[in-house]
Amino acid sequence: MPFPLAVLVSGSGSNLQSILDKIDAGHIDAEVRVVLSNKPEAFGLARARQKNIPAIALPHTQFPSRADFDAEMVRVINAHGVAAGTGAVLLAGFMRMLSPEFLRAFPQGVVNIHPALLPSFPGTHGAADAAKYGVRLAGCSVHFVDEIMDHGPVIIQAAVPTLPGEEPGALAARILKLEHCIYPQAVAWLAQGRLKVAGRHVVASGTGQASCGDDALPYLASPALEPGFLPST
């Protein structure tokens, strides 16, 4: 049976799309059972509906507390066949912190993508913060989610060189392109049961050390991206 996934979005949902595309292409043996958003206008919901995936808006402002909102999300996710141990919850631009109760419902089953090389530049504006800081290597990280923002064990990261004078938006776009490679790759490993977590360390079994790009799209990803997940330039 394809690995059941729930995806939480708050915005455009381009990372959701990258995962759906890799499922369609046969590179990930998983099924997105439901897409949830705290923002009814999130384009990610439209992307799901276009593929006949249940897309549910749950405006957090309509709930008396974070605990109530999170409890309803857990209920909806479970009702769509995504449960602890047998499926996972993917955060794809979901702009809300999750409560300890939510995380306890899916132990080691919640994954996030962040547009910076963690632990540098956690928070809402990771790519822009890195650009403003003047780092020479920026990038993105996929990690398991724990109770601290952008903090849990790292599954895969990709680094990109920054360019002098480059607008933060242009850097963010180059990083996003790699997000669309490393997030589907991490989900494929998860669906294949190849990720083991020991403390802060994640081992992805059978992976290569690193893969790198070229002048058209310079990057270094570790562990190595597998065929089917390499960026197209």
Tell me: does residue 150 bind ligand GRF (CB under 6 A): no
Cα–Cα distance, 174 to 138 (Å, whole number): 10
User: Least distance to ligand GRF from the beta carbon of 206, Å?
Assistant: 26
Give whole-number Cα distances, 112 to 16, 116, 134, 136, in Å.
11, 12, 25, 24
Name the segment binding ligand GRF (CB under 6 A); options: 13-21, 62-70, 128-136, 201-209. 13-21
Q: Are 20 and 32 in contact (CB under 8 A)?
A: yes
Which helix (H) or strand (E) element contains residue 57? strand 55-57
* Placement of tokens 């632990």 in the chain: 119
Tell me: does residue 12 bind ligand GRF (CB under 6 A): yes
Per-residue mark of binding to ligand GRF, 86-125 (x: CB under 6 A): ------xx-------------------xxx----------
Among residue numbers 39 through 68, which ones bind ligand GRF (CB under 6 A)? 44
Residue nearest to ligand GRF (CB): 93
User: Least distance to ligand GRF from the beta carbon of 133, Å?
Assistant: 17
User: Least distance to ligand GRF from the beta carbon of 171, Å?
Assistant: 11
Helix axes 14-24, 168-191, angle to 10 degrees: 40
Residues facing 31 on adjacent strands: 4
* Placement of tokens 């419902």 in the chain: 105
Pick 14 or 222: Cβ nearer ligand GRF? 14
Q: Which amino acid, one-letter code, is at 86?
A: T
User: Least distance to ligand GRF from the beta carbon of 64, Å?
Assistant: 27
Residues forming contacts to ligand GRF in the complex (CB under 6 A) are 9, 11-15, 44, 92-93, 113-115, 176, 179
